[in-house]
Amino acid sequence: MKKLFTLLPLVAASPALAASGPFVSLGNTDFVVLLAFILFVLVLIYFKVPGMITGMLDRRAEGIKAELDEARALREEAQSILASYERKQKEVSEQADDIVAHAKTEAAEAAERAKEDLKESIARRLAAADEQIKSAEAAAVKEVRDTAIAAAVGAARDVIAKKMTAAEGNKLIEDAISDVENKLH
């Protein structure tokens, strides 16, 4: 404010030097303009306009500073959120890779188990088929043997019936009975 009052005579003196006639008179337009200007400045000072202007400028500067601080905070928050999402994306990607790798190993293990189960099933079926073949072979051998025995018994009966007499038959029966008595006693 003091600087304004010290500059005021210098500003007022320069038009005064250019004017002709007495400077301090209401007929001199430069003097009237100077008085109006001084009155205007005094009115502004009386109503504290410079203080209001500086206050408004200070508030505006504080508002701009607050907006800049808020923008900085929002930017930092956005960067931290972005970093968090990038970390989460990386973790999810790693988890997905782990899941895929785990699924591949499980599929390979399941394929190996299926191969082993198939081999075991084939071996069991082959063993069962061998058992059935052996059983069928034994049944066929027994049937052939039974048929051969029946044919031999029938042929022997026919031969014995043709060659044996009643006396020889009775003697064979008595021998068989005595043989059984000896074996039972």
Least confident of 65-79, 91-105, 136-150, 151-165: 151-165
Question: Is 41 within 8 Å of 4 (Cβ atoms)?
Answer: yes
Higher pLDDT, 27 or 68: 68
Residue 128 maps to a domain: no
Residue at 157: amino acid letter = R
* Eight-state DSSP code of residue 1: -
What are the start-end ranges of the E strands in 132-176?
none
User: Looking at the 3D structure of the chain, how many domains does it have?
Assistant: 1
Residue 121 maps to a domain: no
pLDDT for residue 1: 53
Range of the domain at 103: 2-113
Structure tokens at 172: 């064979």
pLDDT for residue 180: 81
Which segment, 64-68, 119-123, 136-140, is predicted with the most confidence on average? 64-68
Residue 67 maps to a domain: yes
Residue 101 maps to a domain: yes
Query: Does residue 16 surpass a pLDDT of 60?
Result: no
Query: Does residue 160 surpass a pLDDT of 90?
Result: no
Question: Is 14 within 8 Å of 7 (Cβ atoms)?
Answer: no
